[in-house]
Chains A and B, each alone.
Chain A
Amino acid sequence: NAGVMQNPRHLVRRRGQEARLRCSPMKGHSHVYWYRQLPEEGLKFMVYLQKENIIDESGMPKERFSAEFPKEGPSILRIQQVVRGDSAAYFCASSLKNPGQGGVEQFFGPGTRLTVL
């Protein structure tokens, strides 16, 4: 059973370009989370999605950032018109159960390291 897959592992973009980060959850998992990690900091929650639904986007910046988890295919985190401050590691996690049930383990992918020049 493959773990959470993320690609690309490294992404370089120039200011103003778009960045698309992909995440395939573990087999059988329908709950996906995105987190961002700035250098020397812990992970910060961005968004929680189930298939075709955004459940909690309280950590998403108001502009330029969007996420989706379509019925078929991976979850996508999209950053439009990137700026240098978007440079960070973006991690995806998935879980089997609804986090509201408590005690739900989230399995993390290897991350995508975005560098904005």
Chain B
Amino acid sequence: SQQGEEDPQALSIQEGENATMNCSYKTSINNLQWYRQNSGRGLVHLILIRSNEREKHSGRLRVTLDTSKKSSSLLITASRAADTASYFCATDGYGNKLVFGAGTILRVKS
């Protein structure tokens, strides 16, 4: 299956709640990145975590990386309606290219 698989496929939460998305991958990596895509738009880079890092924060975002389990999680705290989007993880395990998962569709209800 595709490297960089996210779960869940879709997530619906109330504004103010936390949202957690997971990503699994197959090969060794140098880094893992998370992107957001609003419907019909381009990708916005959220955060990059290197293989020697275990956790990284950026504003309301918290990313963890477990290289032994080949998995990462993205936590969005205190979600807002504007966080509604698709979220993708991408890994560089194959050299020149980023390999994306199918994404998690997050819907935040106000």
Chain A positions within 8 Å of B, measured between CB atoms, are 33, 35, 40-45, 48, 55-56, 58-59, 91, 93, 99-100, 102-111, 113
* Residues of A close to B45: CB separation below 8 A: 105-108
Q: With both chains docked as a complex, state the minimum distance between the C-beta of A39 and any C-beta of chain B, in angstroms.
A: 11
CB pairs A–B below 8 angstroms (27 shown): A42-B88, A42-B100, A42-B103, A43-B43, A43-B88, A43-B100, A45-B96, A58-B97, A59-B97, A91-B42, A91-B43, A99-B95, A99-B97, A102-B30, A102-B31, A103-B31, A103-B48, A104-B92, A105-B33, A105-B45, A106-B98, A108-B42, A108-B43, A108-B44, A108-B45, A110-B42, A111-B41
User: A6's closest neighbor in chain B, by CB?
Assistant: B42
Interface string of B74-107 (1 = CB under 8 A from A): 0000000000000010101011111111110000
Query: How many residues on the B side are at the interface (Cβ–Cβ under 8 A)?
Result: 27
Q: Contacts A91-B43, A105-B45; is A44 near B92 (CB within 8 Å)?
A: no
* Residues of B close to A111: CB separation below 8 A: 41-42
What 4 A-B pairs have minimum CB-CB distances, sorted nearest first? Answer: A102-B30, A45-B97, A42-B100, A110-B42
Q: Is the CB of A105 within 8 A of B42?
A: no
Q: Is the CB of B96 within 8 A of A48?
A: yes
Q: With both chains docked as a complex, state the minimum distance between the C-beta of B98 and any C-beta of chain A, in angstroms.
A: 6
* Residues of A close to B57: CB separation below 8 A: none
A106 to B99, CA, bound (A): 12
Q: With both chains docked as a complex, state the minimum distance between the C-beta of B1 and any C-beta of chain A, in angstroms.
A: 12
A117 to B1, CA, bound (A): 31
Q: Is the CB of A45 within 8 A of B99?
A: yes
Q: With both chains docked as a complex, state the minimum distance between the C-beta of B44 and any C-beta of chain A, in angstroms.
A: 8
A4 to B4, CA, bound (A): 24
User: A111's closest neighbor in chain B, by CB?
Assistant: B42
Q: Is the CB of A100 within 8 A of B96?
A: yes
Q: Is the CB of A56 within 8 A of B97?
A: yes
Q: Is the CB of A55 within 8 A of B42?
A: no
A104 to B42, CA, bound (A): 19
